[in-house]
Amino acid sequence: MGHHHHHHHHVGAEAGDRRMWAAVAVNLGLTVAQIVGGIVSGSLSLIADALHNFSDAASLVIAFAARRIARRPADETMTFGYGRAEVVAALVNYTTLVVIALYLVYEAVMRFVEPSEVAGWIIVIVAGIALAVDLVTAWLTYRMAKTSMNIRAAFLHNLADALGSVAVIVAGTLILLFGWWWVDPLVTLAIAGYILWMTWSEIGGVIRVLMQGSPPDVATSDVLAAMRGVEGVADVHHAHLWQMEEHRAALEAHVVIGEGRWGEADAIKARLKQALHDRFGLGHTTLELECARHACDETQAIGHS
């Protein structure tokens, strides 16, 4: 978990916003160029790449908007704050990646059934320009992608695009040299397969946050064991450990204070909170204290009965 929960939105926020806008502008310009090139040359993989590029621009706009919303402070409506806007944006972007990939599969299969002429040189030239733009966009968003699942989703849109451009260049070259028209839909299928695989590997973490799952790098059993190990604690039950946002986790639990130690309850609670912060990086903890004689009946360690 570490101790890095609260600062990500604010470090270089304005510089990050400028990078995002630059990436959006570059991608929109490229999309127009690719669609024109694809129509003139009759290349499906080029138009597929353009669609993907447009989705890149859209994904960056969504990611950018979510970044701005996530910085809002908590209010009466959103008492936990707006940090999860970034997680929702990541889910939207991964979902659109899946839809795009399935559409590409459909188009590729139809092209196998009904082949059409493809003009190789235009594909190679436009895809070469696309690759350069994709690499620029990837460079603009790479550093932010390391610490944000929101930006990472937009970055992966872009990475898929860069690979798509490489594949299109290969396809165009093979059509030029050998007249292998079938390489075009085959490459489209390969791009679609890669997008689906990549999305599958990333979307789980996003869903985990939205489903209020525990942090992936903190075992709930370890947290409970550490709490029970604090002097003066008789038992812990009704525990809930969840990710509020990608880098912020929270814990709430009922803590039974040992027999005859109720007078130390505040000190025991302070020790517990310190231990949870130091060992697991848990800064947001809500602990309900119970004296040993009046503790809850029929308890379970995790969740409520």
Pairs from 79-85 (Cβ < 8 Å, separation ≥ 24) = 80/244, 83/9, 83/244, 83/245, 83/246, 83/248, 84/209, 84/210, 84/244, 84/245
Concatenate the DSSP letters of all residues of 56-97 into one string. Answer: HHHHHHHHHHHHHHHTSPP-SS-TT-STTHHHHHHHHHHHHH
Residue 266 exposed, middle or buried by CB count within 10 Å (0-12, 13-18, 19+): exposed
Residue indicated by tokens 């990086």: 281
pTM: 0.78
Alpha-carbon distance of 237 to 112, in angstroms, equals 60
How do the pLDDT tens digits run along the chain, 305 residues long?
444 444 444 446 777 777 888 888 887 887 887 788 778 877 776 777 677 678 778 888 898 899 889 999 999 999 989 999 999 999 998 998 898 889 889 988 988 888 766 666 777 787 788 788 888 888 888 888 888 888 888 888 788 778 777 877 888 888 888 878 788 788 889 888 988 998 998 899 999 999 999 999 999 999 999 999 999 999 999 999 999 988 889 999 999 999 999 999 999 999 999 999 999 999 899 999 998 888 887 788 898 76
Q: How far apart are the first and last CA of the chain?
A: 28
Taking Cα atoms as reference points, which of 23, 12, 26 lies closest to residue 64? Answer: 23
Please name each of the domains of the chain with its CATH number: 13-210 (1.20.1510.10), 220-294 (3.30.70.1350)
DSSP-derived 3-state class of residue 289? strand
Alpha-carbon distance of 39 to 22, in angstroms, equals 27
Query: Which residues are 251's β-sheet partners?
Result: 241, 285
Please report, as a single letter, which amino acid is at residue 31.
Answer: T
